[in-house]
Amino acid sequence: MDEPVLLTGAGGRVGQAVLEGLADEYEWQLLLHSPPDDEPDHEYLVGDVTDEETVADAMDGVGAVIHLAGDPRPSAPWPSVLSNNIDGTEKMYEAAVEAGVEKFVFASSNHAVGAYETDERTPEMYREGDDYRLDGTEFPRPGNHYGVSKAAGEVLGRYYHDEHGISVCNVRIGNLTRGHPPIDYERGQAMWLSYPDCARIHRCTLEADYDFEIVYGISDNDRKYYSLERAREALGYDPQDNSAEWNADEHVADYERESV
């Protein structure tokens, strides 16, 4: 990727993980929702993804987009996700196509498929040895309005790819935590995404050639119920972390040090 990469929602946690891992590998153009406390190390704009002018400015000269911006709260109310997540993503795609951007990476979420975790399947599906897997071809099944908005974003990507040819990768991001996996939270351990693996999979989305993909963005956890097959095959993603390699008893010092 020779041209700059536009990163929206750059101030959020996923944005931090991406920038910490890939700051020097790409030329970044950040879109921030609010003015930053500290001057960023990269070019940036401040504005809202629902504002067409902001989005058009942000897209100028860009080769690829990693679109993370939106209301990130699983409990976000419908009017907010309708505007920030659904309408904002449509405006981003429209501007990307208009600007001739080649590649669009969309931060989807485990919440787009959260309702597959039925009472009958849990907690067994969160445990090593259980062979239930979601592979990214399934119909969305969100457990909240936030998840509805992420599924709608995936469908928007399908449309913009089919009708306008832009390469689209949807990453259904798991449970991103810095340093170590969630403690005493099986579901979070099953879908853990380490900061370094988060950077890795986003590097892959910028480097690989693809048409339209839906992949799961998690580390290679023994407990996983999301298949990594498509991410490995389509993107060459090679995760290096595994929530099972952390043990609260052995790493108690690390936990205490790293917890934020």
| Positions that interact with a copy of itself (CB under 8 A) | 78, 82, 86-87, 90, 94, 115, 137-145, 147-148, 151-152, 155-156, 158-159, 162-163, 214
- Give yes or no for a contact between 259 and 227, defined as CB atoms under 8 angstroms apart: no
Q: How far is the CB of 152 from a copy of itself (least distance, A)?
A: 5
3-state percent breakdown (helix, strand, coil) of the chain, nearest 5: 40, 15, 45
Please give the span between the terminal C-alpha atoms of the chain, in angstroms, as a whole number. Answer: 34
**Active-site residue, 185 included:** no
CA atoms within 13 A on the CB side of 191: 23
Of 126, 146, 225, 237, catalytic: 146
Nearer to a copy of itself, 127 or 141 (CB): 141
Q: How far is the CB of 247 from a copy of itself (least distance, A)?
A: 34
Q: Which token pair is 113?
A: 């498929």
Short-list 11, 84, 82, CA closest to 51: 84
- Whole-angstrom distance, CA of residue 251 vs CA of residue 29: 37
- Whole-angstrom distance, CA of residue 45 vs CA of residue 29: 8
User: Has 84 been labeled as part of a binding site?
Assistant: yes
User: Has 160 been labeled as part of a binding site?
Assistant: no
User: Has 150 been labeled as part of a binding site?
Assistant: yes
Nearer to a copy of itself, 13 or 141 (CB): 141
80 alpha carbon, distance to own chain's centre? 19
Q: How far is the CB of 114 from a copy of itself (least distance, A)?
A: 9
Nearer to a copy of itself, 34 or 118 (CB): 118
Nearer to a copy of itself, 125 or 151 (CB): 151
- Give yes or no for a contact between 189 and 126, defined as CB atoms under 8 angstroms apart: yes
User: Has 159 been labeled as part of a binding site?
Assistant: no
In the block, which residue shows the tokens 């579901």? 187
Q: How far is the CB of 7 from a copy of itself (least distance, A)?
A: 24
Which one-letter amino acid corresponds to residue 237?
Y
- Whole-angstrom distance, CA of residue 108 vs CA of residue 215: 9
Q: How far is the CB of 221 from a copy of itself (least distance, A)?
A: 25
Nearer to a copy of itself, 156 or 228 (CB): 156
- Runs of H (alpha helix) within 105-194: 145-164, 186-190
Query: Which amino acids are annotated catalytic?
Result: 146
Annotation: binding site for NAD(+): 84, 109, 146, 150
Annotation: binding site: 84, 109, 146, 150
